[in-house]
Structure 1
Amino acid sequence: MKICFFGSSLVSSYWNGAATYYRGMLKQIAALGHDITFFEPDAFERQAHRDIADPDWAKVVVYPATADGWRGSLETAARSSDMLIKASGVGVFDQELEIAVAALPSRTMRIYWDVDAPATLEAMANDSAHHLRRAILSYDMVLTYGGGDGVVTAYRAMGARDCVPIYNALDPETHFPSPSKPDFACDLSLLANRLPDREQRVEHFFLDVARELPGKTFVLGGSGWETKDTPGNLRKVGHVGTSEHNAFFGSGLATLNVNRDSMARYGFSPPTRVFEAIGAGACLITDKWDGIDHFLEPDREVLVAASGAEIAGHLDALDPDRAAAIAGRARARILGQHTYRQRARQFNDLFVGSSSRIEAAE
């Protein structure tokens, strides 16, 4: 089938954490025989910070970040697609695109793919006039990359015809153990862009831990931290391109995942970083959120902490042999149960089923 996908960016991970998810999912969906065109705006300097060339499994269309740009691209996509997917967080003209896709003729299957469902649902809940409250009624299905039953229930309560989580996963061809790099060597690393609804949690779960453990070393990767006051035993390395993610995650004794506020509240929302890090052979420590045991077994395949003090305790008790054992068990679990190939099969099954239901309804 011909699938047209509007997202933030497929070719650049610059200020774009969804890139890994898009790449992993769409590559494997294409491998099942679907034809994919990815439409992305020329915005936020992402084209100047590309970290992959146009892939051979998808056509990439970069359109001007203008009203004429998105309208022309949507007209092209609507004429040629069997399924049109609007992802959340394109970054420019999101509201206009979401309303316009909802208004397309029903002969095109319309999918809303929410890559930040907790934040979207909280915005809808806090605004009775939010545009998605009306638009979502016309989408044939909502897909999300996290959230579990809480997100499904909330979307259905908002009037969505159906909502199905398709969780983040691992692309073992992209994320795998690689040689460590001295620039990233440390006791604990964190890769996370500086965002308002994450910064306080990073402060508690990472920066305070570094202050409490002056004898250990910490590395912080990601954009936006340049002006942040940090302790002397912490190195800031700025934006880390996807080509260096394997070395980043694998160069420390352990790496940390810190969910954003809304993701932690909803639970069942493992970000791409969880699967990237484990694929690269890292020992993962994560903040506590509901559903972690759906993906990894605490204490055996992942270390879970409800506070900065618990993270400090994990680090004090962690040696290289134990870290390697945890990392090995986690990678085996993820390879067996949580790859993008498995997620793409889930998507394909949903697509065939929903297509049949739509045709019957017409």
Structure 2
Amino acid sequence: MKLVVLGLSLSSSWGNGHATTYRALLRAFAARGHEVLFLERDVPWYASQRDLTDPDFCRLDYYADLDELARWRSEIAAADAVIIGSYVPDGVAVARLVRGWREGTLAFYDIDTPVTLAKLERGDEEYLSAAVIPLYDLYLSFTGGPTLDRLERQFGSPMARALYCSVDADAYAPVSVPKHWDLSYLGTYSPDRQPTLERLLIEPARARPDLRFVVAGPQYPEDIDWPANVERIEHCPPADHAGFYSASRLTLNVTRADMIEAGWSPSVRLFEAAACGTPIVSDRWEGIDDLFAPDREIVLADDAVDVLAALDRDLVSVGEAARRIVLSVHTAAHRAAELERHLGDAAKAKNKPEQEERV
């Protein structure tokens, strides 16, 4: 299969989780014998922070604007499938342009589904509009559960399928390093995540000055009152993630408000930390127990008391159990097989009316 992907960023993981998701998925997809072209909007923010410029699993090219995107018109038209991702600049215009260039399968990969739908409810069409959703033959959603039915019934998607994030099992595995932190958190600052971070990491840090904590990720405001025992790391590149998790006795998962409301929205960080065998403490949302068994494969916490109790437990077996689950069903190899199947189903559904007409 020849696949073209227009995504937010493959080249830079700075301030976004899209890059690691695309890297794992497309590497595994290429390993199945497929050819991939990734087209990325050339923007200053990512251009100055690139940590992957020459991937060995796909071609990576850049376009400055919609006019320059036309340089790849023939390849986009001839591809077996084209995927446009969430948060692609001028995403609505890109979708209309690409749909006009090709008759074949066109999919939307939403790594931010609950955020996307909340934006649509507000009339915010930054990268997707309700009007273009039916133009996509397939809506690949970061979120499963009832959201898939909503995409089809309310928004007219011909086919909505869950395609959760995943983990590159070769890049994320336990690393033999000393335990440097008792509780860690890896994630870019988000206003709607910050109250949970305050409740589940900063409050426990204040209560236990004898323990060591760390928050890694960019864009945190300077006025946050970090306790003295909370270390700050501005950016932890993907190459350092496995070592970061392995140096953590326990790591925290924090979910955005829209994703908690939708449920069934696992962060890529869940799978990455679990693949490293690091025990996870997470906020609660519907569907998380479909992925990990509470207390056996993950610890769920509502407040600082729950986190402090977890910090007093030996959770090695919890981390090991979560790693087994991830390696059995949540690796990039599993997702690549799912993507292949979903694209095949969409192509069959698209061609079915023509076949029935010929009969």
What TM-score do you get using the length of structure 2 for normalisation? 0.92
Task: Describe how 1:221-240 pairs up with structure 2 within 5 A.
Answer: 221-225=216-220, 227=222, 228-240=224-236
Runs of 4+ in 1 over 6 A off after TM superposition: none
* Partner AA of 1:75 in structure 2: R
Deviation at 1:224, TM superposition (A): 1.2
What is the rounded CA distance, in whole Å, between the counterparts of 1:33 and 1:101 in structure 2? Answer: 25
- Among 55, 78, 82, the alignment partner of 1:80 is 78
Deviation at 1:67, TM superposition (A): 4.0
- Among 281, 287, 290, the alignment partner of 1:291 is 287
User: Is 2:154 aligned against 1:162?
Assistant: no
Return closer, same or farther for 1:9/1:73 CA change in 2, 3 Å cut-off: farther
User: Is 2:141 aligned against 1:144?
Assistant: yes
What is the rounded CA distance, in whole Å, between the counterparts of 1:75 and 1:229 in structure 2? Answer: 51
Q: Deviations over 1:76-100 (max 9, x none)?
A: 543332211110012x222322333
Moved more, 72-81 or 194-203: 72-81
Q: What's the Cα RMSD here?
A: 2.0
2:52 maps to what in 1? Answer: 52
- Among 265, 269, 292, the alignment partner of 1:269 is 265
Task: Describe how 1:26-105 pairs up with structure 2 within 5 A.
Answer: 26-64=26-64, 66-69=65-68, 71-73=69-71, 75-90=73-88, 92-105=89-102
What is the rounded CA distance, in whole Å, between the counterparts of 1:224 and 1:74 in structure 2? Answer: 34
Return closer, same or farther for 1:76/1:332 CA change in 2, 3 Å cut-off: same
Task: Describe how 1:252-263 pairs up with structure 2 within 5 A.
Answer: 252-263=248-259
* Partner AA of 1:80 in structure 2: A
Return closer, same or farther for 1:360/1:296 CA change in 2, 3 Å cut-off: same
2:104 maps to what in 1? Answer: 108
- Among 339, 356, 359, the alignment partner of 2:351 is 359
User: Is 2:189 aligned against 1:194?
Assistant: yes
Where 1:152 maps in the other structure, the secondary structure is helix
What is the rounded CA distance, in whole Å, between the counterparts of 1:128 and 1:89 in structure 2? Answer: 12
Where 1:134 maps in the other structure, the secondary structure is coil
1:18 maps to what in 2? Answer: 18
Deviation at 1:126, TM superposition (A): 2.6
* Partner AA of 1:194 in structure 2: Y
Q: Contact (CA 8 Å) 1:11, 1:19: kept in 2 or not?
A: yes
Q: Contact (CA 8 Å) 1:121, 1:154: kept in 2 or not?
A: no
Q: Contact (CA 8 Å) 2:119, 2:125: kept in 1 or not?
A: no
What is the rounded CA distance, in whole Å, between the counterparts of 1:356 and 1:331 in structure 2? Answer: 35
Q: Deviations over 1:91-114 (max 9, x none)?
A: x22232233334444x22110110
Return closer, same or farther for 1:67/1:337 CA change in 2, 3 Å cut-off: closer
2:319 maps to what in 1? Answer: 327
2:357 maps to what in 1? Answer: none
Return closer, same or farther for 1:53/1:127 CA change in 2, 3 Å cut-off: closer
Unmatched 5+ stretches in structure 1: none
2:213 maps to what in 1? Answer: 218
Return closer, same or farther for 1:101/1:196 CA change in 2, 3 Å cut-off: farther
How many pairs are equivalent? 351
Q: Contact (CA 8 Å) 2:6, 2:40: kept in 1 or not?
A: yes
Q: Deviations over 1:262-292 (max 9, x none)?
A: 1111111111111111112211111111111
What is the rounded CA distance, in whole Å, between the counterparts of 2:95 and 2:201 in structure 1? Answer: 36
Q: Deviations over 1:108-128 (max 9, x none)?
A: 211011010000111112329
Return closer, same or farther for 1:129/1:263 CA change in 2, 3 Å cut-off: closer
Deviation at 1:350, TM superposition (A): 1.8
